[in-house]
Amino acid sequence: MIEIRGLHKSFGALKVLQGVDLQIPKGKTTVILGRSGVGKSVLLKHIIGLIRPDRGKIWIDGVDITLLGDTELNELRKKFGMLFQEAALFDSMNVGGNVAFPLREHTKLSEKDIREIVAQRLEQVGLPGLEEKMPAQLSGGMKRRVGLARALALDPEIVLFDEPTSGLDPPMAEAIEDLIMETQQKLGETFVVITHNITVAFHIAHKIAMLHEGRIVAEGSPRVFRRSSNPVVQAFMARREEKEVQE
Amino acid sequence: MVKVWKTINLVGEKIVGYVKEMGRMLLLLVDTIRWSLYPPFRVDLLFQQMERVGVRSVLVVVLTGVFTGMVLALQSFHATRAFGAETMVGVAVALSMTRELGPVLTSFMVTGRAGSAMAAEIGTMRVTEQIDALSAMAVNPIKYLIVPRVLASILVVPMLTVIADFVGIVGGYLTGVTMLRINAGAYVANMEKYVELNDIYHGIIKAAVFGLILSVIGCYKGYTTTGGAEGVGKATTESVVLATVTILMANYLLTAAMF
């Protein structure tokens, strides 16, 4: 389980996180929802230790990661997989090299075994046989899929998703949502997804938490969340309904 | 009066900014040294960078060296002919190349070719979150990206300098002996008499320091890039300008200390 308590972070005069409290249950998909620029990515990067908080605590399976040094933090990160907003594939390596990267860095597997795992992972995300392609030759949706294959390469316990569907056309976005849902159901791992899209949240989440003005203002299962009386949640819901009527 | 204060303030802010940046660069260097001492030692990445920084710079270094040697011979021939000391042209070429122009021009060429590439490549990786991705995959980006580039530069810039020295001296010989008809025996004999091994060694030490400077600056500028594609362009330009000026300043200090 991931537990965040009293998390504060400022960049210069800009206060981004102002006391975030959140519990992320094990083996479920938790979606952190909020409008663009509210600090969702900053929160996600705190969970994996890419950003150090000004104040507050983050426990991953009982370990307070804010107290860890660089080497211990690096060890802990092996529990994680992360899919970045634009996939962040290494553009100097082909698809196979990208997916194999964590395996080559952290295991002593033979090249034959690595190739087999890479092929399996690519098949899992619906892109079999794409090993030789370069990231520049892929569409946005394909990049996210390869990014997911890379994030899953080491069988992580926790997978983080930074806006996995932003910038994609609706059918592709839906396909990525389905892929996230199927993968979570199959592997039973802890997924943490951040998005500004409430439809995505309702589609894939076991738990939704709303980040607004540096704090979690509402949280719960999609059913509980839907009935929240919080005005920020209500505004999000109203906008969603407006969009649905327009469509 | 207000204008004067504003100007002083602005100058002060600029100076404080530069000092802060130098401090951050020094911290990056300390981190680089620290991570270079921790296993695993990535010889594969080191060789890859030596090929990129070194092997791919050979042609441009040879061209720079040979033409510099030739022009030095031409210029010193005109200067020495006035008092009948043409046979000293070889000495002038060899000393200039080994002590100063070999290391300085080589490191300029490597800065333009490889230092700028370091800033651009690492800068692009920064703005597209590839560096965050490395950290997220439990791979230290300083160890993976910066240590091999800095070590490779420290090793290959001296090697390239030796090549530049050699082709510069050959270029000077060709111009002096073949074109300007200076006596070949006296040309070589004077060179042997007045050029010492220490001149070459000191040039090589300078080159290693310049390799360190250009790579640390290139990597630092890339590593701290912000602001998308425009930021990458800015970081690349700044890395070349800063490295070139720093190399010239370091050259003066090293010359004062060694010769």
- Calculate mean pLDDT across residues B176-186: 89
Cβ pair A181, A203 in contact under 8 A: yes
Q: Return the half-sphere exposure (C-beta side, CA atoms, 13 A cut-off) of residue A193.
A: 31
Residues of A in contact with B130 (CB under 8 A): 88-91
| Segment A113-143, tens digit of pLDDT | 999 999 999 988 888 888 999 999 998 889 9
Q: What is the ipTM of this complex?
A: 0.86
Question: Nearest chain B Cα to A156, which residue?
Answer: B137
Distance CA A99, CA A128 (A): 12
Which segments within chain A are labelled E, that is strand?
Answer: 2-11, 14-24, 29-33, 55-60, 63-64, 80-83, 158-162, 190-195, 207-212, 215-220
DSSP A38: S
CB contact under 8 A, A85 and B129: yes
Measured between alpha carbons, how far apart are the two ends of chain A, in Å? 39
CB contact under 8 A, B130 and A70: no
Question: How many pairs of residues across A and B have Cβ atoms under 8 Å apart?
Answer: 49
Cβ pair A45, A123 in contact under 8 A: no
Mutate to test the interface with A, among B38, B45, B128, B140 (most CBs of A within 10 A): B128
The listed CATH number (3.40.50.300, 3.40.50.10860, 3.40.50.2300, 3.40.50.20) that belongs to domain A1-79+158-165+196-247: 3.40.50.300
- B137 reaches A (C-beta below 8 A): yes
Least confident of A222-236, B6-20, B29-43, B140-154: A222-236
- A247 reaches B (C-beta below 8 A): no
In sequence order, which residues have a C-beta less than 8 Å from that of residue B175 and are 6 or more positions away?
A: B69, B70, B73, B74, B77
Distance CA A86, CA A206 (A): 24
The SS3 of residue A129 is coil
Query: Among B124, B129, B138, whose Cβ lies nearest the Cβ of A84?
Result: B129
Mutate to test the interface with B, among A51, A89, A107 (most CBs of B within 10 A): A89
pLDDT at B112 over 90: yes
- A52 reaches B (C-beta below 8 A): no
Mean pLDDT of chain B: 93
| Segment A144-170, tens digit of pLDDT | 989 989 998 888 999 999 988 887 888
Question: Nearest chain A Cα to B38, which residue?
Answer: A71
Please write down the long-range contacts of A224-233, taking CB distance under 8 Å and 24 or more positions apart: A226/A202
pLDDT at A188 over 90: no
The residue extents of the domains of chain B are 1-35, 43-258
Residues of B in contact with A78 (CB under 8 A): 138
Distance CA A30, CA A81 (A): 15
Cβ pair A164, A197 in contact under 8 A: no
Cβ pair B53, B149 in contact under 8 A: yes
- B37 reaches A (C-beta below 8 A): no
Specify the pLDDT at position A126: 85
In 3D space, the residue among A47, A137, A48, A46 whose CA is nearest the CA of residue A98 turns out to be: A137
CB contact under 8 A, B137 and A102: yes
| Segment B23-73, tens digit of pLDDT | 999 999 999 999 999 888 889 999 999 999 999 999 999 999 999 999 999
In 3D space, the residue among B148, B151, B73, B61 whose CA is nearest the CA of residue B106 turns out to be: B61
Q: How close does chain A come to B204, measured CA to CA in Å?
A: 33
Specify the pLDDT at position A75: 87
- A80 DSSP β-pair partners: A158
Distance CA B27, CA A134 (A): 35
DSSP B114: I
3-class secondary structure per residue, B42-82: CHHHHHHHHHHHCHHHHHHHHHHHHHHHHHHHHHHHHHHHC
Which pairing describes strands A63-64 and A55-60: parallel, antiparallel, or unpaired? antiparallel
Sign (positive/negative) of CA torsion A120, A124, A128, A130? Answer: negative
pLDDT at A58 over 90: yes
- For chain A, positions 189-208, list CB contacts with chain B under 8 A: none
Residues of B in contact with A148 (CB under 8 A): none
Q: How close does chain B come to A147, measured CA to CA in Å?
A: 10
